[in-house]
Amino acid sequence: MPKSENQKLKLIYLMKILLDKTDEEHTLTVPDMIAELEKHEINAERKSIYDDIEALRHFGLDIALRRTKTTDYFVASRMFEMPELKLLADAVASSKFITEKKSGELIKKIESLASIYEAKQLQRQVYVMGRVKTMNEKIYYNVDTIHQAIAQNKQVAFKYFEYTIDKKKHYRHDGEKYYASPYALSWDDENYYMIAYYEKYSNISHFRVDKMENIEISEENRRELPDKKAFNLAEYSKKVFNMFSGDEEKIKLQFDNSLIGVVFDRFGKSVTIHKTDNNSFIIEVDAFTSPTLLGWIFGFGNKIKILSPVSLIEKLHQKANESLSQYERGE
């Protein structure tokens, strides 16, 4: 029988067959492998399969052998274990900034890292339909461009938009381009943000990546940060609430003991804690006193108390009174 064009690819096809169709619960015998190769118009003899299996093992593929009534082979370990793949698939499915279409495409690619049988577990594991998702399909390219700009120490130019109540785009600055110096990307409150030095405000600003369009790398080098220090995203994230900036101040807060987990989640376990009594504790942190910080504090009611600065206490009073004024009863 004349050899087919695929004959030279025999070893590659055999590796794909083993990766796709075997795991600890599903195995193949040598005759099974010969039959699978025949589907690709590849002829193989039993002895050559043994040689190929040894070659693949030498290459690094973890092929295990199990003897029962027959001698069965399967891929025993892979680059990613199933719990890791489930974690990746769940993260992709639940990410608000990834569109529904792209979530499906990425999960399919994650499934290809498992056997066809294990891939079914990933399909049952995730639920994409019905989740609130971004509508901007270009976000992935935006992220890549921003990373390139940071690596090249360049500014980025882009248009920035918001959605109107009729679900149409409204471009800020009358559609004129923004120019900013990107320093980091942050995933916060289920959204992706570019953290950049914005010369117009002479300060750090945040831009939602899914609301950026026509993004380009500028020829201009990035502007230096005001303090000329390296940007530390971890430290900055502790100070910013939901990517709303404001004046940075040292604030002192008193918490009910039941909120210790909330404090660790927000400020990290390295935060210094001072016990006041059996029921509460105090922390001092640097934070941007933004409306979202006030909303965060207000949301916990009497379980958080602002001790200082006085200006923040006054802002909370003002915001509370503004909210209550909407519900005042008429005569």
* 331 residues of the chain, pLDDT tens digit each: 456 678 889 999 999 999 999 999 999 999 999 999 999 999 999 999 999 999 999 999 999 999 989 999 999 999 999 889 988 888 888 777 777 788 888 989 999 999 999 988 876 545 545 555 666 667 778 888 999 999 999 999 999 998 887 778 899 989 999 999 999 888 776 678 898 998 887 778 889 888 899 999 999 999 988 766 666 766 776 666 555 566 778 889 999 999 998 888 778 788 888 988 889 999 998 887 778 788 888 888 899 999 999 998 998 888 888 888 888 765 4
Reduced to 3 states (helix: H, G, I; strand: E, B; else coil), residue 270 is coil
CATH class of domain segment(s) 139-231: mainly beta
Cα separation, 89 vs 127, whole angstroms: 10
Topology (CATH) of 5-77: Arc Repressor Mutant, subunit A (1.10.10)
Positive or negative, the CA dihedral 306, 307, 308, 312 is positive
Reduced to 3 states (helix: H, G, I; strand: E, B; else coil), residue 299 is helix
Copy the structure tokens of residue 8: 């030279």
Residue 51: Cβ within 10 Å count: 11
pLDDT at 1: 47
- Sequence-distant (6+) residues with CB within 8 A of 105 are none
Cα separation, 31 vs 324, whole angstroms: 77
CATH class of domain segment(s) 238-325: alpha beta
Question: Which residues on neighbouring strands pair with residue 284, listed in sequence order?
Answer: 252
pLDDT at 37: 96
Reduced to 3 states (helix: H, G, I; strand: E, B; else coil), residue 322 is helix
pLDDT at 89: 86
CB 100 within 8 A of CB 133: yes
Cα separation, 319 vs 317, whole angstroms: 6
What angle, 0 to 180 degrees and rounded to 10, lies between the N-to-C axes of helices 10-21 and 46-59?
Answer: 80
Which residue ranges make up each domain of the chain? Answer: 5-77, 82-125, 139-231, 238-325
Cα separation, 129 vs 107, whole angstroms: 13
pLDDT at 303: 93
Cα separation, 284 vs 288, whole angstroms: 13
